[in-house]
Each structure stands twice: as C-alpha cells, then as structure tokens.
Structure 1
Amino acid sequence: MHDARSTNKLHTIKNLVVSIDLPKSRLAFIYFCILAIFLLIILRMVFVVTMGDKVRISSIYDLRKSAKRANIFDRNDVLVATDLKTKSLYVSSILVKDKQGLARGIAEIFPDLSFNEVLRKISDGSYGKQWILIRRNLAPLQVLQVQNLKMAGLVFEDDRIRVYPQKSIVGHYVGYVDLDRKGLAGIEMQYDHALVNGEDLHLAMDVRVQDILHDELQNAVEEFRAYSAAGVVMDVNSGEILAISSLPDFDPNLQSNAEANQRFNRATNGVYEFGSVMKIFTNSLAFEKNLVKMDDVYNVRDPIKYGRFTITDDHPVKDEMTIAEIFAYSSNIGTVKIADKIGITNQKDFLVKMGLLKKLDAKFPGLGRPIYPKIWREINLYTIAYGHGIAITPLHLAAATSSIVNGGIFYNPSFLKLENKPDGARVIKESTSAIMRLMMRKVVEEGTGKNSNIAGYDVGGKTGTAERAELGRYNTKQTMASFVAVFPISNPRYLVYVVFDRPNYTFNTGGMVAAPVAGRVIKNIAPLLGVNPVQEILSK
C-alpha cells in the first residue's frame, strides 16, 4: 500500500517536471527566433551600407567604369592613351547627419559646385536612400581635402579616368572617350570593343612625325593667318598613316571643353575641292591610255570659253608648252586640252578605280564621302581635270597619289601598325608611275612647287589652289591652298600632304603657302624615318 502511494507520487512529480520543462523549451525557441531576426536585420543594414547602393549605382554607370581599358601605343611603343586609377566621391544618404555642413565643406573644395547645388543633390537623393554622386575622378589633393572634412556620409569609390600623355598632338588620330570611357571618336571609337576587352593597340602613328606635322601646321596657320589646316603623312608602300593632324584641334583630356569646330577632323571627314593637285590623275590617265607624251606641245595662249564659263591660267608662262611644262607650271588651259583627249567615260572610270568617288575603305570612324556631279557633262570633264567640281578628303588625295608614285598599287589607308605588307590593287602600269615621278620632280625643280625643294631629299610633288566653294558658287577671294609631296621621288617611301583653308597672305596659293610647309615637314621627319640625303643631288 505504501509502495503504491510512493509510485503515484513519483509519477506526479515527473509529470509536473515535464509540464514545467515544456514552457522553457518553447521560450528558448522564441528567444532563438528573436535573435535570428535581429542578426538578419543587422546583416541587412551592413549590406545596405556597404553593398546595397552599389547595386543602384551599377544601374547608372556601366561596368566598364571599374574595368581597365587597354592601352594605345604608337608604332614605336610610345604610350598615347591609358587608364589611371582615381576615386569618385559620393554621399550616402543614410549615413549623412549634417546636410548643410557637408554641402558647405564640399562647395569649398570644388569651387565650380555651389553650396545650394550640393545641398539640393543631397536632399533630393535622400528620398531614394542611395549613394549620391558628387564628383567623378578626383585629383589626389581633392581626395585628401575631402578626407580632412571628417564628416559622416562621405564615401569614396574606386574609379578610372582615360588620359592622353601626348595631349592635343594626337587628338584627331586617337580620338577620345566619354566619362565612362566609351570611345566617341577616332581610334578610341573604331576599336572600342577591343579596348574594352583588354586588347592593347599599336598604331601606324609615329608620335615624332605626328608632333612635327602638328607643329609645322600650327606655325603656318599663324604665319599665313589661315582659318584652318589639315595634314597627312603616309607610307606609300603600305598605306600606313604615320600622322594625321587637323587644326583647330583639342586636348582629348579636356574634350568636353572643345567646340564642334575643334573636334571636326578635316583630314578624314572634311571634303573639299583641292584644285590643281587633281591634275596628277588627269595626267596619269593620259599616259596610261597612251594619249600623250611628256614632250608633246600644246598652245596654251588663248582662254577656253565654254558657254558662260571661261577657263584661264592664273599666271601664264608662255604660249606653247610641253605636257611636262603644262603640269609643272599648272596650266589649266593645257590640262583641259588633255582632258579633251581623255573623254568623260575614261575620266569617271579612272576616278572610280582610284577610289575617289566613294568613301575610303579604312577602319576609322566618320570618313567623308566625295561629292561629284550626278550627271557628268563635258564642262564637268574640264573642271574636274584641274580640280574643281569634285570634293574629296585629304586622306583620299593622299591614298590615291601614293598609288600613282609607288609603282601603281593602291593600298587602303591603315591606322594600325602592319606586321606584313598588305595586298594592294594595281591601278596603273609601272611605266606610267615612273613617268609621273619624273613629272612631279619637275614641279619641284622648276615649277610651282620650288618652295618645297629640300636639298638632298629628292622631293617631288604638285601644288593645288582652288577657289573656295561657298553656297553654290565660288568665292574668288578665298582659297584652299595645298601641296602634296613625295620623298624620295626617285624611290618613293613617304607622302606628305598639307592643306590650308582660307589663308590670308600676300599670295594665297599652294606654291606660296603650302609648299614651304611640306618642305619643312620633310626636312624634319626624313632623318627620323631613316631617309638619308642623296649625295648626287647635294652635289648639283
């Protein structure tokens, strides 16, 4: 009886313990849940502060913002474009405590940002609880100044900026990028995908040649008070572009400050009537078709009348001239008589073959498209023969002339360094090319291009002076003055073409304005390119 009562008491105690233990376990579970929720909240807050707003930022700025864009070098491994690491400044709306104080401090560091402007940015951004961009790509001193403010809410993020060590010298060749380093012009635009994906580029450019061309054009623009200028230096045996310059220019490091007139690339994008440099192609075709010989004589005394047009020579030399003299002294009358032998169909077909009636096949953005008559009449045959009535880019002129002097092979212009000689297309016979080299040497020795004659460098070339086409008519008081030079003309290696728009000089002709500039460029770049003076010419 006693044992039974004891057993019942024991069961009662155990049941009581169980009834007491169950609430404790539930309590522990509740405590655990509360703790877990609290930890999740803390983790979420950490994420929001450190990562959350970066997700929002990524929707504003491309991933390229943090990825390194590849380098661009000239043909001799000189750096012309690269990325530098920088810091960008943001304000975290959930960390900022003193909006006005912060705005005041930032405005003092960045004079171009007013207190009200910064305060408005911070206040407007606080509603979205995101990082508010204040300034991209801070200078090291600016980073230090911001750090010294020691105010809550200031956040730095790693960034990159594109820099161009050669500055304005390479602006029109290399181009530029936007704030997020996306290519907007030149090589930067043409090869944007390759650069984004880390592929370094080696240009056909020689920075030394680029520098000389740029400086000589700049000096000449000031000397001759020209409105603008452009220049090209080309390897005639490969099509590689060693230099391209266009003035006015701009510094690609500060491209956002440049005006449209400065950004415009006259060497590749602009199309112009160049005048007598086009006689190179008229004469080449006449020799190619065996229509003339160098010593054929023509009477050039009387102007040629065609309807309301009268074709004359600006500076008559003599009544009768050989083909070589017509070219050397740039007789329009004699050139029209040569064109008469050629005919409309032959002329048009030849210009097509020379690539002068279409956009060039070159990997460079914004290449200009030639302008020419839709209906090719006899008057167009005559005027195009001496360089009026057709508008092309300086790059067109350089590429086509290279094929005339190099033995007759046309090479597409290349802005990248070539490892192997490219395949070209034959456009004229080698014998025609040899004749044209003699003709172009005569221009420099005794004709309109004498001011380009640099002793020892065997220069050949052709002058061009065109009345400027404006609003459907020609302005007789404004000219395009140009000169195309090849050296050494006996064994051509390089071409230099310079053109000046609206020079304001005593004589605004290609021979007086452009020829001496081309000569100075050759004198300075020839030694750098391994072209040594020819002793035979020096001894003359």
Structure 2
Amino acid sequence: VYEMGSTFKALSISMALDSGRVTLGTRVDARDSLRYGRFTIHDFHATHRILTVPEVFTHSSNIGTARLALMVGVEGHKAFLRKMGQLDRLRTELPESAEPLVPKRWGELNTMTIAFGQGLNVAPIQAVMAVCALVNGGNMMVPTFLPRTPEEAAKVSHRVVSEQTSESMRYLMRSNATHGSASFANVPGYYVGGKTGTADKIIHGHYSENKVFTTFMAITPADKPKYLFMTIYDDPMPAPEDHGFHTAAYNAGRVAGALIRRVEPLEGVPPEKNPPNQPFPIIARLGYGADADKTGKE
C-alpha cells in the first residue's frame, strides 16, 4: 500500500461536488499557507490567490483541496472514502492484498492531508477502482482479473456519485491535460484526461526529503472513458533534461503518454482526427466549455 499523492484530489473534489456544498464555480482561498496548530500546509506551485474548483485541480492545490474537504467535514470524508472502497482491504481473485493504513485517530488535520493524498495508504488497484467509478458515470464495481460482460459488470455495480459529478471529473481531468500537470500525457487523437500524484516516500516511518513515489492516472477518451491507465514510479531519478525535477509529470506522466500512444493502436483504437463535438453536455449547460481556461470558464 502507498500514499497516492495528488491523484487522491480527484476523490476529494468529487466528494465536495457530490455533497452539494460545492460547485465548479466555488472559490477557495489559497493566498496563504494553511496552518493547523504546529502544522503548515503549502502548495508545491503556489499561486497565492483565490482559486476556482477547476483551478484547484489544475494547479493541484493542497491548500484548496484541504479547504474543500473541510467543507464536507471529517465524518463525511470518512463515509465517502469508505463508500469508495479506500478504507477496507480490497479482495480480488488473487490472494495477495494488503489492508489500507488508516489513521487510528482521524481528526480535521487528517482530513486535510488525506484530501491531497498524504496520511492514507492504499493499494494502487484500490485507487484505480475509485477513479474508474468517478469517471464512468458514477458506478462502483470491484475489479476482476477475469473476463466480464457489460451485463455482468452492471449486476455487480452500484452508484456512488451522480452523473453530473462524474462528468465534472472527466471535464477536470481533460482540462488538466490541456493546461495542467497532465500535459505530457496529452497524446493527440486520444482526448486524454489525467492527474499527477507525487508523494514523499516513507522510509523507516519518516518522510524522505528527496525520495518520492509518483503516480499518474490517465483516462481515454475523456468524454466517454474506455481505458484507465495507471503508471507508478518508486523513487524516480530526474532526467538530465528535466532540470532536477522528479515529480510525477516528468516520469509517470510521460510514460502514461507513451503507453497510450503504443497500446491503444494495438487494441484497435486509432487516433481521432477531430475532438468530440459535445464532450461534456452537462458542464456546457452549467456555463463551462470543453476545456476550462485558467479562470475556470471557456
């Protein structure tokens, strides 16, 4: 099990949207670091301004995501993550699995850090399961390694978020590929959506200052996802051309893009010449377009 870093922001933002307390137009204050007792939450790429929800996602704001989670509250946060299968051991056809590492005492600070992927350790396939549910229309189903027909899948699935919340997450992941941290995986012709995650690696019970665990989630096509790619790196080294950066965009993100470019043609999915005409109809009715710009509006 691992800390999944900022890929967990997809769960946190979908939770806030699905609760009804937050909309895509909600603004959160990320002008200053967020202090809680002796702890301070920073943004890796700080904007020092008020952000809309799409900006919280594309700028991967720890501060903004923590504030959104606090709007839902500790108990609501725990209930949502349990519903999304993140607090219990995931069982599949393979016997090898591990229990998530969950805080014994879960208070507001835990909700703030777990919101951006720190303080809760899950199996990568658990995170995949949750993100699949967030983008497939809102239906959760336990992963399987065996063939399963759409009808069989429907029988074992249940709704966890609304269709509007699901479309919002597809929209946010697509926007992150066009002008956010997922740009390295934005392969032309596949209408990719994605989210990066970089977590400080835990060594002997302490966070390392220079070793990370990176994650990248990509969906294709973002309007009606058929595939979800997950790439993970354990302690990646920065490439010479990346100016010392070893965060997820530079390794897991690049590899996810390479996988999409190579694997999808093997699956008989050629690149499309034109993007979909009306990719996000619900979002369009709310006043947003196919790809939000830096203000969160078309």
What does 1:372-383 correspond to in 2, within 5 Å? Answer: 372-383=102-113
- How far apart, in 1, do the equivalents of 2:102 and 2:132 lie? 22
Q: Which residue of structure 1 aligns with residue 97 of structure 2?
A: 367
Q: Report the alpha carbon displacement of residue 275 of structure 1 after superposing the two structures with TM.
A: 0.8
* Contact residue 455 and residue 538 of structure 1 kept, 8 A: no
Q: Report the alpha carbon displacement of residue 361 of structure 1 after superposing the two structures with TM.
A: 3.1
Change (3 A) 1:375 1:405: same
What does 1:10-21 correspond to in 2, within 5 Å? Answer: none
Letter in 1 for 2:97: L
Q: Which residue of structure 2 aligns with residue 534 of structure 1?
A: 272
Q: Report the alpha carbon displacement of residue 340 of structure 1 after superposing the two structures with TM.
A: 1.4
Q: Which residue of structure 2 aligns with residue 78 of structure 1?
A: none
Q: Which residue of structure 2 aligns with residue 409 of structure 1?
A: 139
Which secondary structure does the structure 1 equivalent of 2:46 belong to?
coil
Counterpart pick for 2:254 among 492, 516, 532: 516
Counterpart pick for 1:421 among 141, 152, 165: 152
Q: Which residue of structure 1 aligns with residue 80 of structure 2?
A: 350
Q: Which residue of structure 2 aligns with residue 489 of structure 1?
A: 222
What does 1:121-520 correspond to in 2, within 5 Å? Answer: 271-419=1-149, 420-422=151-153, 423=155, 424-505=157-238, 506-520=244-258
* Contact residue 455 and residue 537 of structure 1 kept, 8 A: no
* Contact residue 212 and residue 235 of structure 2 kept, 8 A: yes
Letter in 2 for 1:312: H
User: Highest relative contact order (Cα 8 Å, sep 6+), 1 or 2?
Assistant: 2
Which secondary structure does the structure 2 equivalent of 1:421 belong to?
helix
- How far apart, in 2, do the equivalents of 1:355 and 1:296 lie? 27
Letter in 2 for 1:528: L
Q: Deviations over 1:108-167 (max 9, x none)?
A: xxxxxxxxxxxxxxxxxxxxxxxxxxxxxxxxxxxxxxxxxxxxxxxxxxxxxxxxxxxx
* Contact residue 28 and residue 68 of structure 2 kept, 8 A: no
Q: Report the alpha carbon displacement of residue 477 of structure 1 after superposing the two structures with TM.
A: 1.0
- How far apart, in 1, do the equivalents of 2:160 and 2:203 lie? 33
Letter in 1 for 2:41: I
Which secondary structure does the structure 2 equivalent of 1:535 belong to?
coil
Q: Report the alpha carbon displacement of residue 538 of structure 1 after superposing the two structures with TM.
A: 10
Q: Which residue of structure 2 aligns with residue 211 of structure 1?
A: none
* Contact residue 273 and residue 389 of structure 1 kept, 8 A: yes
The alignment's C-alpha RMSD in Å is: 1.7
Q: TM-score by structure 1 length?
A: 0.49
Q: TM-score by structure 2 length?
A: 0.87
Higher Rg: 1
> Could you list the runs of 5+ residues in structure 2 that have no partner in the other structure?
239-243, 278-290, 292-298
Q: Which residue of structure 1 aligns with residue 284 of structure 2?
A: none
- How far apart, in 2, do the equivalents of 1:309 and 1:490 lie? 39
- How far apart, in 1, do the equivalents of 2:31 and 2:221 lie? 34
- How far apart, in 2, do the equivalents of 1:352 and 1:538 lie? 35
Q: Which residue of structure 2 aligns with residue 180 of structure 1?
A: none
- How far apart, in 2, do the equivalents of 1:411 and 1:532 lie? 28
What is the identity percentage for the equivalent residue pairs of Structure 1 and Structure 2? Answer: 38
- How far apart, in 1, do the equivalents of 2:276 and 2:24 lie? 26
- How far apart, in 2, do the equivalents of 1:285 and 1:299 lie? 19
- How far apart, in 2, do the equivalents of 1:471 and 1:377 lie? 24
Higher helix residue share: 1
- How far apart, in 2, do the equivalents of 1:453 and 1:461 lie? 8
Q: Report the alpha carbon displacement of residue 362 of structure 1 after superposing the two structures with TM.
A: 1.4
Q: Report the alpha carbon displacement of residue 514 of structure 1 after superposing the two structures with TM.
A: 0.8
- How far apart, in 2, do the equivalents of 1:326 and 1:466 lie? 18
Query: What is the number of equivalent residue pairs in this alignment?
Result: 270
Q: Deviations over 1:44-77 (max 9, x none)?
A: xxxxxxxxxxxxxxxxxxxxxxxxxxxxxxxxxx
Change (3 A) 1:490 1:538: closer
Q: Report the alpha carbon displacement of residue 318 of structure 1 after superposing the two structures with TM.
A: 4.7
Q: Report the alpha carbon displacement of residue 336 of structure 1 after superposing the two structures with TM.
A: 1.1
Letter in 1 for 2:52: T
